[in-house]
Amino acid sequence: MLKNVLLVQATKLLFCHAIPLFSLSSLIDDLSLKVHNSPMVAGVIGATGYAGAELVRLLSGHPKVDKLALSSVSFEGEQIQDIYPNFLGRVKGSLLKAEEVIAASDVVFSALPHAVGEPFAAACSERKIHYVDLSADFRFDDDEDVYSAWYGKNYQFPELHKKSIYGLPELNRQKIKELSAAGSVIIGNPGCYPTGGSLGAFPALAKGLYGEGAIIIDAASGVSGGGREPSRSFHYPECADSLAPYKVASHRHSPEIARNLSAMTAKGGAVPQLIFTPHLAPMNRGILSTIYIPLSEQWRITRDNNVMPPSKEIEAKAGEIREIYADFYKDEPFVRVLPQGVIAATNRVRQSNYCDISVHLDINGSTLIVATAIDNMVKGAAGQAIQNMNILFGFDEKSGLSAIPMLF
């Protein structure tokens, strides 16, 4: 009976595929097997939003993904290549219902709005397949109070949150591996601002460089961060040739960043207060975060109210801290600590899964200044989700994500 149901679902899979094609009969026979021994089908729910479309673009070139199963409530039954002509000749076919995608997939990515995807996570958990959620629904573990306070919704399936994991690989890679070894996993893919801001502060917190006082993060995002639905704020005449802060002291990524800073702080260390201000920048892609971290007494060079250029002592101390950052991230495939004289910039990570980090010291020698650059659609969304998939299945973490960034 189950095989007949799956055959009906699979008949609809002629629509979306990544070369090479596999026969429908072998697909049905293999659906219950381990992914390593069968053609892998990756499902994307919400495939026509910006993050969903980026998932489709990256997954279509992933060496371990043989087929794609795609859904969209807004464009159900339509052809993905008619909505995104860049997929012509590479990804083709009709968009299905989410339930059909789940029935046919070995792993499911959800690129839906917040507070929508929990029923699909429950369905994937029932089918014992991995589920990677790009919304905020699973970023707070079982802390429903914080989630509901910021997102205005309660958990629909509280029991799912007790076994989900926050999917920042640089923080939780080992936990993700342990959970995947035990069965299917629900991953809360991190937000874009929390990714760049947290990675820039992590070594300072873990290695005792942070002293006391607020950590300040000023971050500027490209317009694609606002999603595909048009609004006045993202209307070209409103945002072109202009840079402005928004949601000052009230952005919903604030508690996520604060949780990360707490988790990243060395045992026994003081958990920092966070001041986070996002800005809208007149560019399509990218997030540049500038992070101000008060240094501990051990690392401070006291030159209060200095107005002279940085001394050789300060430059040497900045170099020492840069080496700590480089050593901390030396085994991370997608974090690049830049050499002295190179400052993080969004154009050098465009369409890549990299997070570039440059390390600086203020002229008084008391505050660490860290700049990070990511592509908000890749490391800030779809690319990081695929990085998590690679970890879940034991693939090379760089699989499908190894392209050199586009500089221009």
Report, as residue numbers or ranges, the catalytic residues: 192
Pairing of strands 287-294, 367-374: antiparallel
Pairing of strands 274-280, 244-245: antiparallel
Return d(Cα 231, Cα 408) in angstroms, integer.
27
Q: How many CB atoms lie within 10 A of CB 309?
A: 8
DSSP 309: P
**Closest-CA residue to 366 (of 307, 298, 285):** 298
Helical residues (DSSP H) of 40-186, grouped into ranges: 50-59, 80-83, 98-104, 118-127, 144-151, 158-161, 169-182
- 3-state DSSP helix/strand/coil % of the chain, to nearest 5: 40, 20, 45
Residues 6+ apart with CB under 8 A from 296: 208, 209, 210, 211, 212
Maximal CA-CA distance, the chain: 79
CA-derived radius of gyration, the chain: 22
- DSSP annotation of 77 reads T
As a whole number of angstroms, the distance between CA 338 and CA 140 comes to: 31
Host H or E run for residue 5: helix 2-11
Half-sphere exposure of residue 94: CA atoms within 13 angstroms, side-chain side? 12
Instruction: Give the three-state DSSP class for 97.
Output: coil
**Are 344 and 325 a contacting pair, CB within 8 Å?**
no
